């Protein structure tokens, strides 16, 4: 069953009140009716088991049957820094990265990025990416929503790089595989950031800057993956490692 995200202010006296746009999705797209069960997560770490009491054109009211406080995740936070991809690829990566449990997604402008966005286009894409992430989080029953930051340039990310333990995926570089890169306890507390370049790869200047910041280089071996494939492969490998190491 999908888990829908609400604000704690939507909960009053044991009743959850929903308005658009979530109302339209629940009532029309899912054809929910009075008496149907629903599950909600709020921004305070609570999960609500509820049952629909009433649906009108303007609101849906669900009576809370049970409240669960969601436990904090013991896995390291995982940040995806993704160079902008053209067409539907960027939205697809955000959807799948959400399903794979990333905590933050940073869209990145690099030297070889093909997609160019103006200020208004950035706002439009940001809203679309957030909608895609929200729908993926609901479908995959995530506890929290990932944070999708505004588009950054490579230089802007460099300015905050000291806050991250960065793994840069680089093709045709002599680098260790993700399965063999050590992750110390300190690293796991800070979280792990994985960077994926654009269709044309990283420029020589970007690789040099990464080296000067002592970022860890990693590869998938001899295979050259498409950018969107590399993102999912890297996230899946890292999450699998975290699951095993936390078992």
For residue range 65-80, what is the model confidence (pLDDT) as tens digits? 999 987 766 667 899 9
The tokens 């029953």 sit on which residue? Answer: 141
Residues 139 and 24 in one domain: no
- Asked if residues 54 and 33 have their Cβ atoms less than 8 Å apart, the reply is no
What Å distances lie between residue 147 and 36, 71, 169, 187, 223, CA to CA? Answer: 30, 19, 22, 20, 31
Domains: count for the chain = 2
Cβ contacts of residue 181 below 8 Å, gap of 6+?
167, 216, 218
- Any alpha helices (H) in 103-226, and if so which ranges? 119-139, 154-159, 185-190, 204-212
Average pLDDT for 203-221? 90
76-134 pLDDT tens trace: 789 999 999 998 999 999 999 999 999 999 999 999 998 878 778 888 999 999 999 99
Residues 7 and 108 in one domain: no
Q: Which helix (H) or strand (E) holds 229?
A: helix 227-245
The C-alpha atoms of residue 192 and residue 77 are separated, in whole angstroms, by 6
**pLDDT range class, residue 28, cuts 50, 70, 90:** confident
Q: What is the CATH number of the domain that holds 91?
A: 3.40.1280.10
- Give the end of a domain, one of 69, 100, 118: 69
Q: What is the CATH number of the domain that holds 55?
A: 2.40.240.20
- Give the end of a domain, one of 19, 39, 69: 69
- Give the end of a domain, one of 26, 49, 69: 69
Residues 165 and 123 in one domain: yes
The tokens 């069953």 sit on which residue? Answer: 1
Q: Give the pLDDT confidence score for residue 40 in this predicted structure.
A: 94
The C-alpha atoms of residue 194 and residue 220 are separated, in whole angstroms, by 13
Residues 89 and 189 in one domain: yes
Q: Give the pLDDT confidence score for residue 183 in this predicted structure.
A: 66
Residues 155 and 182 in one domain: yes
Residues 187 and 86 in one domain: yes
Residues 57 and 178 in one domain: no
Residues 50 and 146 in one domain: no
- Predicted model pTM: 0.84
Cβ contacts of residue 169 below 8 Å, gap of 6+?
194, 195, 196, 197, 218, 219, 220, 230, 234
Q: Give the pLDDT confidence score for residue 247 in this predicted structure.
A: 44
The tokens 């929503």 sit on which residue? Answer: 145
- Any alpha helices (H) in 16-100, and if so which ranges? 22-24, 89-99
Q: Tell me the β-bridge partners of 55.
A: 60
The tokens 């950054």 sit on which residue? Answer: 152
Residues 47 and 83 in one domain: no
The C-alpha atoms of residue 37 and residue 66 are separated, in whole angstroms, by 11
- Domain of residue 52, residue span: 3-69
Among the listed residues 236, 207, 204, the one whose alpha carbon sits nearest the alpha carbon of residue 220: 236
Tell me whether strands 104-109 and 147-148 are parallel, antiparallel or unpaired: parallel
Average pLDDT of the chain?
Answer: 87
């Amino acid at each position: 069953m999908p888990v829908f995200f609400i604000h704690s202010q939507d909960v009053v006296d044991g009743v959850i009140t929903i308005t658009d746009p979530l109302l339209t999705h629940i009532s029309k797209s899912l054809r929910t009716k009075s008496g149907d069960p629903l599950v909600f997560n709020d921004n305070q770490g609570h999960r609500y088991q509820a049952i629909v009491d009433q649906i009108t054109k303007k609101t849906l009211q669900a009576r809370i049957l049970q409240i669960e406080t969601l436990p904090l995740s013991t896995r390291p936070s995982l940040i995806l820094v993704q160079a902008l991809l053209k067409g539907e690829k960027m939205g697809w990566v955000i959807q799948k990265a959400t399903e794979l449990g990333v905590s933050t997604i940073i869209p990145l402008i690099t030297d070889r990025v093909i997609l160019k966005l103006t200020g208004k286009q950035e706002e439009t894409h940001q809203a679309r990416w957030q909608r895609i992430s929200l729908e993926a989080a609901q479908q995959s029953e995530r506890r929290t929503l990932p944070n999708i930051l505004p588009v950054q340039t490579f230089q802007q990310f460099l300015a905050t790089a000291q806050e991250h333990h960065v793994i840069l995926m680089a093709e045709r570089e002599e680098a260790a595989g993700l399965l063999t890169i050590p992750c110390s306890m300190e690293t796991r507390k800070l979280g792990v950031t994985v960077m994926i370049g654009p269709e044309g790869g990283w420029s020589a200047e970007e690789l040099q800057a990464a080296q000067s910041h002592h970022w860890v280089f990693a590869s998938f071996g001899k295979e050259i993956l498409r950018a969107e494939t590399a993102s999912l492969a890297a996230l899946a490998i890292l999450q699998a490692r975290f699951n095993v190491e936390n078992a």
